[in-house]
Structure 1
Amino acid sequence: MKNHTLIPLMTIDIAVPVQAFRFEYTLVGRSDLPFIREFILRLLKVGNMSATQLAKFLGLSEKEISIAVSQLVSLNEISVDNEGNIQLTAEAHKYFDGLSDNRPKITKLFEGTSTFKFDLLSFGLIRSDDKISSPLNAIRLSPETEKLSNSINYAKSAFLRNYIDIFEEESISFDGVNDIRKVELYKLSDVRKNKDYTARFALTFSLDTERNSIERHSESRFFDVDEIQKNLNEVLLSSYNSSNIQDIVSALVTLNEPQLLDCFTSDGIDLTALAILAVKQSASSSCRSYFLGTPTNSANWNQLTTLIKKHLKDGKSSATCTWLAPSDRFWLMSNQSFSRTSELLNATKGLQTLLYLPVAGSRDKHQEQIWKKALGPMKDKAIKVAEGFLGGSVEVISIPGVFSLLCFYLQKPGESASIPFGFITTETSDIDRIQQEFESYLGNYDANMERREYGPLVLSGQKLV
């Protein structure tokens, strides 16, 4: 895949469960000595000396050297014979670690209390620079029940195996210890669970044009952890929907889209042909351009917002934007897509955006709650609509007289994520046709003989939860 061309299709965020644990421990290590004490021992390592000679070398007064010698004698590090010669004791000789190290060090106990975070899948360390945030708008991974209930024991084992690496990663230091790798764990007194967190990383699905396949990739180190990969695969496969190729084809027939229909074969869809169409059409001067990827992917979003800004640039024009979300489980499942949705709903002056969200029926409380959580502060701007427009797997963003964007979310057999593709048109007849198609859909009735437009997601006076 190294030299292959990858076209980004969709980016989703993955939420990794994390817990913080408080560790109380005691270490044993070799510590540097205070300056005067160290140099007296180093001089005596070379040979015996008198107090006068030591004072001369160190620039100390008679009184100062007398105090220093008395202290070292009391510590059983030096001895003084009847003639006043000072020498190292056997104990002090042990301070010198081998022939290559001429600096004395003493064995010392260090007590510490630290809080470290571990993910609940592999119990790898969550570094201080790892992104910790809310699990909203992300695909959540779930630890095994046994690991969750015994997380303290797993965290303890992880600490015992890797405490040196953990100290290095988190820049934990101890006074007088220059080499943290030379300390040893003397005792682990206590481990306590502290708090739950969520680590987050972005996962991108891309089209490999040479292989005509969908590839997953991420710059995050979490993506390379076996336990996280395994759990991620299980979550993605468990949320897999059946193929919707026939629904997409029917929608394209309804819209009379021959160029997109030509990318379909008896076996499904030719992704490479789709990519060629997108590149070929974008290079032309046509009022229509085809694209791969979700509307919130950077290239597509830039094209969309450029059209909006061009229309609103004089500050006098205003517009109403219709935005229909697709029935796709990964829609709005990233910080990027959330922030760009918020941008269009809240931050574009002169633009009123009507966000339509598909639900199974007017009483579909389960999906309503999902949408409310996903939208957060934007939920009071959303409108419920019966799912199923053009088969349901289509996203529409349209401003009358300016542009219409249609994005189809194709679910291929065996693929864990849908394949978004579509077109943007500035052709007035196309815009009118798409707008009329959607308005006609809203004006008709669902299976329960209710209008398909069910009203606001949050009713006036309803508490925003």
Structure 2
Amino acid sequence: MKGVRTEGSERPSIYTIDSVSKLTQDPMRLTTYFAIDQEGKAIEREDFDNLDDSSEVHEAITIALNQSQKGQNIQEIGLAMKSFGDTWTKDIFNSNSIDIEALGHRYAEALLDDKKEIPFVGPIYAGNNWEHIRKILKGLPTSFMKSKEKAAKQLTWIAPSDAFWGKSKKLEFCFNEIEQAQLTQEKNPQRIYTPSIFLPLTDITDRRTIGAWKNEFRKGSNNLHGLIEGFLGGSVEVIVLEGTFAVVCYHVSRPETHPVSIPVGFITTDLKLINTISYIAQDYIGGASSFNKKHNLGLLEKL
């Protein structure tokens, strides 16, 4: 057989490779999960299945985490809770972090009583958490068509100043859903709401962060705005759709026991609470930290 070498009774050899040279190097995206156990204690990270040895990667992750961590912010979170009149979220905390049993009880109560806030742990864009928002968004066209009031509402999303926020492709999918749900699905679509997503910046000259946000969320450029960081201390995330729903997520930092911040919060459809959250959010967005330093820096694509 031409091109095939055989040696005695051995199997045919088509190619013989006796040297390997590295021609190029490509990045590999790895996903790691940070979790807590039933008592709220941090669980050790698992190794990566597609790597023979995960030790060097884990070491690099640990270094990056240590560089990104905030200091402890429990007092700051407590003040934010007080400003919203939130007296319930503290009940799902324990001395470690989250009391999983208490969270489960509170969640079960909320499912039986529409007036109660739905608690959640983890990023709002995580699958189980976002499903609650998706359900609300899907119901908007029907309620819009039944309503006599056709004026477009305002949907506001304020991102936290947290290094661990948004480090997942899931967030971009959520942004896309927000984008697509703003209009009714008719031959002549009507606007249900106008979305504005505010991303934190130190100031208008923060070119590095501006560039990073633009690169990360290219598709949603029409809705992305720059906002001077510091909303309720910087560790609070808010999503509000006027008169419809609101989400508050506290990003709790406890670097002495947990390698990343712990997102915990609630979803509400209570009109009074929605109005309170909306007022606090809009007051910050429309405010200024000094005479010539407005918080709202405008569309990100124009910065």
Matched, 1:337 2:171: yes
Residues 370, 261 of structure 1: alpha-carbon distance in 2 compared, 3 angstrom cutoff: same
Indicate which of 260, 283, 286 corresponds to 1:440. Answer: 283
Matched, 1:285 2:113: yes
Query: Structure 1 CA distance, aligned partners of 2:127 and 2:205?
Result: 36
Counterpart position of 1:323:
157
Query: Structure 2 CA distance, aligned partners of 1:273 and 1:449?
Result: 49
CA contact (8 A) 1:321 1:354 kept: yes
Q: Deviation of residue 219 (structure 1)?
A: 8.3
Residues 264, 271 of structure 1: alpha-carbon distance in 2 compared, 3 angstrom cutoff: closer
Matched, 1:194 2:28: no
Matched, 1:227 2:59: no
Indicate which of 356, 369, 381 corresponds to 2:211. Answer: 369
CA contact (8 A) 1:202 1:218 kept: no
Write the letter of the residue equivalent to 1:434.
Answer: I
Residues 315, 222 of structure 1: alpha-carbon distance in 2 compared, 3 angstrom cutoff: same
Indicate which of 393, 397, 400 corresponds to 2:239. Answer: 397
Query: Structure 2 CA distance, aligned partners of 1:403 and 1:409?
Result: 20
Matched, 1:239 2:68: yes
Counting only pairs closer than 5 Å after superposition, residues 285-324 of structure 1 correspond to structure 2 as 285-287=113-115, 288-313=117-142, 316=145, 319-324=153-158
- After superposition, the C-alpha distances for 1:310-357 in whole angstroms (9 at most, x for unaligned) are 122367465431111111112221122222222223465344311111
Query: Structure 2 CA distance, aligned partners of 1:292 and 1:278?
Result: 12
CA contact (8 A) 1:237 1:416 kept: yes
Counterpart position of 1:450:
293
Indicate which of 246, 269, 277 corresponds to 1:426. Answer: 269
CA contact (8 A) 1:203 1:217 kept: yes
Aligned-residue identity in percent: 23
- After superposition, the C-alpha distances for 1:355-403 in whole angstroms (9 at most, x for unaligned) are 1111112222222112112212223421111111111111111111110
Tell me, which stretches of 5 or more residues in structure 1 are unaligned?
1-26, 31-94, 96-104, 113-184
CA RMSD of aligned residues (A): 2.8
Matched, 1:416 2:244: no
The TM-score with structure 2 as length reference comes to 0.82
Residues 422, 107 of structure 1: alpha-carbon distance in 2 compared, 3 angstrom cutoff: closer
Query: Structure 1 CA distance, aligned partners of 2:6 and 2:102?
Result: 64
Residues 194, 378 of structure 1: alpha-carbon distance in 2 compared, 3 angstrom cutoff: farther
Query: Structure 2 CA distance, aligned partners of 1:303 and 1:251?
Result: 23
Write the letter of the residue equivalent to 2:263.
Answer: P
- After superposition, the C-alpha distances for 1:107-158 in whole angstroms (9 at most, x for unaligned) are 876435xxxxxxxxxxxxxxxxxxxxxxxxxxxxxxxxxxxxxxxxxxxxxx
CA contact (8 A) 1:244 1:412 kept: yes
Indicate which of 108, 111, 123 corresponds to 2:15. Answer: 111
DSSP 3-state at the match of 2:113: coil
- After superposition, the C-alpha distances for 1:154-203 in whole angstroms (9 at most, x for unaligned) are xxxxxxxxxxxxxxxxxxxxxxxxxxxxxxx6x32xx4332332222322
Counterpart position of 1:48:
none
Residues 217, 315 of structure 1: alpha-carbon distance in 2 compared, 3 angstrom cutoff: farther
- Larger strand proportion of the pair: 1
Tell me, which stretches of 5 or more residues in structure 2 are unaligned?
184-191
CA contact (8 A) 1:398 1:405 kept: yes
Indicate which of 64, 76, 85 corresponds to 1:256. Answer: 85
CA contact (8 A) 1:326 1:392 kept: yes
Write the letter of the residue equivalent to 2:84.
Answer: L
Write the letter of the residue equivalent to 2:295.
Answer: R
DSSP 3-state at the match of 2:205: coil
The TM-score with structure 1 as length reference comes to 0.55
Query: Structure 2 CA distance, aligned partners of 1:447 and 1:284?
Result: 46
CA contact (8 A) 1:28 1:107 kept: no
Tell me how many residue pairs correspond in the alignment.
284
DSSP 3-state at the match of 2:43: strand
CA contact (8 A) 2:6 2:13 kept: yes
CA contact (8 A) 2:92 2:103 kept: no
Residues 28, 240 of structure 1: alpha-carbon distance in 2 compared, 3 angstrom cutoff: farther
Write the letter of the residue equivalent to 1:362.
Answer: I
CA contact (8 A) 2:40 2:97 kept: no
